[in-house]
Chains A and B, each alone.
Chain A
């Protein structure tokens, strides 16, 4: 991380906190408690738990990078962006298998009523940037866009991050009857914040955008406009500012930002027949009133619809779902009720409902404790 970036923020965050007599006393009491415990000789014949090492995390970070520009220059990017990036993004999935190539859309898309889109309208120029939508796919809960951005000038080299661009957008999801649900900063909802990808060369960025929206199949179009693309640079301006009204001033570096403003507008028809969603009805409850109504599976994720007793608050419970190999599924978004199916065997799943506090003790490396702590569990065949 460049020493010039957020230098002051780091300095402040690394400032030692003053000694607290209260906390010191509590720590000493705890140390005495440890010292008074007998040393136990435990057999460490525990089963091996899944663990993620720091080195592994760093290795994954290193996978992000600029592709070999020579290779990139030889192969066309349009139509292949999902294939290149789908395993690299923070929400991996087999998007290329279900991708709609917007340069040569399938008959089902061109036959959608009132669609006036052609391949050329998926390429928009505004200011220095030309934005091309290469491919799109969607499931019931999100649109996934593959995007190519070409810059008349070179993208700056001294950027803080080489694997994404921030973006702002606005638009609407349009129902078949013409009514619409709007999104954008003015409406207080932003379904997408960034494009994740890389820079094949100094004039080009390719990336994926996950555009989260519920019940995609209810709509017939998505109209949206990108308003800006932004990068934070490694340079900045020394500033001084007052912290609140404290009278205390601090120095900090305000990073320079490279902002491309414009309007790149697109319309994406949505064909609900292309959305694969399978519901498996369970309608099972145990004697305490906890259970599962159904399991919903689409191309990239699955989720359970739980049943709770009337008097219970659903926020007090967490659903955990294991794959056929007995490994918990990862979440596929900010909503932890949705799980990624990428690379997993979900022919059979086991659903656990846990009290929130028990779940917090049983997640991550401690996941094998979930069955004994679950207040409801059910193994379900999804074949």
Chain B
């Protein structure tokens, strides 16, 4: 990957596109941590790709590429999310925030739908991307203890909402 990043930093579009493709799943999952609509996910990913290509020459360390890309994506997600909140009517806001309308019914989306909106992106970065709480704190610019408490809260929330059947180990 490092070779691809170095080439992309010299504006080699083919290498950059390959990097995006390698990180496409991660980007989609991050975006679905903010939005349920495909169109919104597509919008923020598109904007992120353009932003990243424009600024990739400023990347300080090639090994940091993915984290850097995710941070750009999260910034764009926050922008779009807040702009939607400002333009929607009250009824539309109530509909917009509903967690149950992901495009596909699979385990990933079902799990997201059970979490508080604030917890979804943290859960994905922690369990999906396996960032440390310190790294997530830096990415989201949220205090690390808040990250930990939200992970704890999210797991508690899942425990309460699952109808359980205990298995013997």
Contact = CB atoms under 8 A, between A and B. Distances in A.
Interface of A: 1, 6, 9-10, 12-18, 20, 22-23, 26-27, 29-31, 33-35, 37, 39-40, 42, 44, 46, 49, 51-55, 57-58, 60-61, 90-91, 161, 164, 166, 193-194, 196, 210, 232, 237-244, 246, 248, 250-252, 254-255, 331, 333-334, 336, 356-357, 360-361, 363-365
Contacts of B42: 22-23, 26-27
Given A34-B16, A54-B67, A246 B146 contact: no
Interface residues of B, number: 72
Contact of A49 (B49, B60, B149): B60
Contacts of A55: 63
Given A17-B25, A17-B108, A30 B50 contact: yes
Nearest to B129: A13
B164 A40 contact: no
B95 interface: no
Interface of B: 11, 13, 16-17, 20, 24-25, 28-29, 32, 38-39, 41-43, 45-46, 49-50, 53, 57-58, 60-61, 63-64, 67, 71, 75, 78-79, 82-83, 103-108, 110-111, 113-114, 123-124, 127-128, 130, 132, 134-135, 137-138, 141-146, 148-149, 152, 155, 159, 161-167, 169
Contacts of B149: 166, 193-194
A183 to B, nearest CB: 15
A52 B137 CA distance: 12
Contacts of A242: 162-163
Contacts of A251: 167
Given A34-B53, A239-B167, A360-B78, A51 B108 contact: no
B138 A57 contact: yes
B107 A34 contact: no
Contacts, number: 182
Given A23-B42, A57-B135, A210-B145, A13 B49 contact: no
Contacts of B108: 12-13, 15, 17
Contacts of A34: 13, 16-17, 49-50, 53
Nearest to A196: B145
Contact of A15 (B17, B107, B123, B161): B107
Given A13-B128, A35-B13, A57-B134, A250 B107 contact: yes
B45 A26 contact: yes
Contact of B82 (A35, A243, A356): A356
A17 B79 contact: no
